């Protein structure tokens, strides 16, 4: 099964994807994580990605598509995969369909998360991420603080704030997201695979609630061997 996560930065895509990964045995592939890893290692891909990400802009289609094409060839995602951060444009979606078709696969579900803008900004500026690349657990200083300040509950590594998690960059990212992905939401709605969920403290429904409900649905309604 191929699941795609849509949603502006800070809507909880990573949280939902990580829970689904564990419950459905479907590897989460985050283009953002891949780019950040390359940025921290100072690779050519990292330098290119940082020149866009640091300004709140999207990395060009050809770069991102090439990255995903390579990842889809790997054995661990031959059965199930959760794509987080890709596609971001209709062009990317069309290319993904072609890549999947070559493998005899298709997009099965697109989870579209929506959250009020003011909540997104609050979440992101208070977000802290485990520096251990094998953990990457996300905390929020307001909603989900670590038990020990600055330390990951799961692995004990230091928590860090992403360089682009500031108000100015977040607002630019939200604007760019909406500009580029409104058409993408319509694209998947027409395909009949779009599933939209509101994630907001105002209705007491957060990412974990959404993820567990979707996991239960998929486990009950599909006959796939998870």
* Active site members: 13, 88, 127, 162, 173
Q: Angle at the Cα of 69 (from 72 to 26), degrees rounded to 5?
A: 25
Is 27 strand, coil or helix? coil
Could you tell me where the beta strands, DSSP code E, fall in 37-126? Answer: 81-84, 109-114
Beta strands 28-30 and 81-84 are parallel
The set of residues, in sequence order, having a beta carbon less than 8 Å from that of 117 and lying 6+ positions away, is 174
Beta strands 2-7 and 109-114 are parallel
Angstrom distance (rounded) from CA 208 to CA 196: 15
């Amino acid at each position: 099964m191929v699941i795609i996560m849509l949603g502006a930065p800070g809507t909880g895509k990573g949280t939902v994807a990580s829970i689904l990964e564990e419950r459905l045995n479907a590897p989460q592939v985050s283009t953002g994580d891949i780019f950040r890893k390359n940025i921290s290692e100072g690779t050519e891909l990292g330098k290119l990605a940082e020149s866009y990400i640091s300004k709140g802009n999207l990395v060009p289609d050809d770069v991102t598509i090439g990255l995903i094409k390579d990842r889809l060839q790997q054995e661990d995602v031959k059965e199930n995969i959760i794509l987080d951060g890709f596609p971001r444009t209709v062009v990317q979606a069309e290319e993904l369909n072609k890549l999947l078709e070559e493998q005899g696969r298709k997009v099965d579900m697109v989870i579209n998360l929506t959250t009020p803008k003011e909540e997104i900004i609050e979440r992101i500026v208070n977000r802290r991420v485990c520096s251990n690349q094998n953990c990457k657990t996300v905390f929020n200083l307001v909603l989900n603080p670590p038990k020990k300040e600055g330390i990951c509950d799961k692995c004990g590594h230091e928590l860090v704030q992403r360089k682009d998690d500031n108000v100015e960059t977040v607002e630019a990212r939200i604007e760019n997201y909406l500009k580029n992905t409104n058409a993408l939401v319509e694209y998947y709605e027409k395909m009949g695979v779009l599933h939209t969920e509101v994630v907001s403290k105002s209705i007491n429904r957060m990412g974990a609630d959404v993820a567990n409900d979707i996991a239960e649905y998929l486990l009950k309604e599909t006959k796939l061997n998870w």
